Amino acid sequence: MGSIHDHGQTAGSHRAGDGMVNSSPLEPRSKLLSGVIFVFGVISINNAWLLAVTLVFAVVFALWGGFSLRQLINRLSVLVPFLALMSIPLVFGAGFPPAPERVDLALLILLKALTAMTFTLYVFTNQPVEEMLEALEHLKVPPAITTVIYMAYRYGFLFIQEMQTTVRALKARLFNAGLSRQSLPVYGELAGGLFIKSLNRSETVYRALASRGFEGKIPVGSPRPVTTRDLFAAVLPVSFLAVLLIVEQVVF
């Protein structure tokens, strides 16, 4: 059995059409650690101006990490409907005109979400999931956690293919999607069928792994050496955030 990265080549090829390469110039362990610290630090900031500065910094770092501005906007646009659904009742929940404290709270949540998402995108830019899972193993995360994440990620693609096959079969039979007395029983049968297929597939996978001597840990390769560039890319955002936290405590 090869390393996580070897097993993930097929899954990683799904990202080939996204304009990203399949390897990162930065060492994944340092990148992952700085990302986690940065996101938790962003959550701790409660000043809108400092959060705006942090968002600009995260955007610049994401562009430096390999994103184009258009790609970044497209990725962040996925958050817009969720943030709108959260912000509208939060701002106008007490009536019109909205209370200033409600607007401030919604703005803080909006900036924190966009900043955290932007830096998370930077962390995973040009970084296959398999390399990130190997980095977790090298950081001494329990193997059971990384194995479950990898299995869920790998077989998630198979579940999507199963769903696409089901949709094509329904269209071929001229099924009219919607909420009606005729369609609801079909949805129930499809959900039950997918659940049973998932159980059967998990049992098949378990037996295949057990027959190959699998003991709950996927072998990983040796970690890449941490270079000066890796250290710079990891220390810079953490230092920047530490300065902002100090400024918030001293000035604001």
Q: What is the pLDDT of residue 12?
A: 44
Would the pLDDT of 113 be above 80? yes
Tokens of 249: 């405590």
**Where does the pLDDT of residue 115 fall: very low under 50, low under 70, confident under 90, or very high at 90 and above?**
very high
Q: What is the pLDDT of residue 57?
A: 92
Q: Is the dihedral of CA 8, 11, 12, 13 positive or negative?
A: positive
User: Where exactly are the structural domains of the chain?
Assistant: 25-128+223-250
What value does the mean pLDDT take over residues 126-143?
Answer: 76
Nearest to 154 by CA among 93, 111, 201, 101: 201
Number of other CB atoms surrounding residue 100 within 10 Å = 8
Q: What torsion do the CA atoms of 49, 54, 58, 63 make, to the nearest 10 degrees?
A: 60
Would the pLDDT of 79 be above 50? yes
**Where does the pLDDT of residue 25 fall: very low under 50, low under 70, confident under 90, or very high at 90 and above?**
low
Per-residue pLDDT of 161-207, as tens digits, reads: 888 888 888 888 877 777 777 777 877 888 888 788 878 888 888 88
Residue 212 is given by DSSP the state T
